[in-house]
Homo-oligomer: A and B are copies of this chain.
Amino acid sequence: MAGMTIKDIAKKCGVGVSTVSRAMNNHPDINQETKDKILRVIAESNYIPNNSARNLKRSEAKAIAVLVKGLGNTFFGELVSGLERECEKKGYSCILQHVEEQDNELDVALYVAKEKKPRGMIFLGGNFSHPKEKIEQLGIPCVLSTICTYGDQEQSFGTVSVDDFQESRKMTEYLLGLGHEKIALLTAPREDESIGKLRLMGYQKALSDRGIPFREELVAYMDASEDRYSFATGYRLAKKLLEKGESFTALYATSDTLAIGACRALKESGIDIPGDCSVAGFDGMDMGAYYIPSITTIRQPVEQIAKASAGLLFNMIKGKEKPGKLIYEGQLLIRESTAKRKNM
């Protein structure tokens, strides 16, 4: 039977609908025997409770929602798994919602909030430059994971991430330490005001600390409308740099995908990695370890970030904690794609 409802089950068991409801939702006030019987009948009948009706009725679900913008970012996978584990521990369920690259994550969030009534929300990906007012309209605590916002203003949401500025600086310093001075940079669009900007600034800071002038010609910015963090973009940007005839002995891409795309472009120009040019990425994606050469990168501490994000959010839900900024340290993974500059 297809369209079964709680009523059908009630009839089958010879009880009232509320008793069935109690059985399903682990309510305390119910006789164990009746409960067992009802659950058995439910299992036999392939009955599936209607979630729409549930959500409609329920004032607040014991759940949090996780909004993921932009798939393909493999490292979100791990993050999500970690988040799910934490939810389970707390007895919360975890609503996963994907947001298309071109969609506005906050609009989606508003819908999800209304439909699923979660008690809190975690955002992965996206730039997240939204008017404060609109965020507050959500009416539930929010945590941005992996997205470190630029600036220090009081925020209405929590934030858990690495310090993109410092980590980027760390990577640049590592490359400088290898003797590279002409370091090409592949990065987010000029307009970017979050991660991209911070990573760019970290790069600039490291240079200036060494008294090396920042050279705009060595930076390839993504196109705001067309590009994403993808292999193709990395390839295109590196190609562009090469065609302009820029000379550099290292290339630092602000994501591992970009780095891999760039490697291909370098290879096609007959440039050996790391012999002629070192290449570094950012994120610590799985696949960088399997690439040939394996990619030097900054690994984001995914488990920690997941755990901390969930922890912060749960505390915010309980009113125990105010939205704050949590920073975790990334790990510089030195692999095959980087080496000392030749002729030093």
Contact = CB atoms under 8 A, between A and B. Distances in A.
Contact of A292 (B46, B51, B292): B292
A287 B2 CA distance: 43
Contact of A74 (B72, B114, B286): B72
A153 interface: no
Contacts of A30: none
Nearest 7 interchain pairs by C-beta = A52-B55, A52-B56, A51-B115, A52-B52, A231-B290, A264-B290, A2-B139
Give the size category of A's interface with B.
35 or more
A285 to B, nearest CB: 10
B287 A48 contact: no
Copies of this protein chain in the complex: 2
A8 to B, nearest CB: 13
Contact of A51 (B50, B98, B111, B139): B111
B46 A50 contact: no
Contact of A231 (B137, B235, B263, B286): B286
Contacts of A137: 2, 46
Contact of A53 (B52, B98, B111): B52
B71 A286 contact: no
A293 to B, nearest CB: 8
A105 to B, nearest CB: 15
Contact of A263 (B52, B56, B77, B290): B290
A31 to B, nearest CB: 28
Contact of A50 (B77, B115, B291): B115
Contacts of A220: none
Contacts of A260: 287, 290-291
16 contacts: A48-B110, A48-B111, A51-B111, A71-B71, A72-B74, A72-B77, A230-B286, A231-B289, A232-B286, A235-B290, A260-B290, A260-B291, A264-B294, A287-B287, A291-B291, A292-B292
A219 B53 CA distance: 51
A263 B286 contact: no
A110 B49 CA distance: 10
Interface string A208-233: 00000000000000000000001110
A54 B114 CA distance: 12
Nearest to A4: B114
Contacts of A111: 48, 51
Interface in A1-29: 2
A284 B295 CA distance: 22
Contacts of A244: none
Contact of A98 (B52, B98, B290): B98
Interface in A277-319: 286-287, 289-294
A132 interface: no
A55 to B, nearest CB: 4
A267 B294 CA distance: 11
A52 B114 CA distance: 9
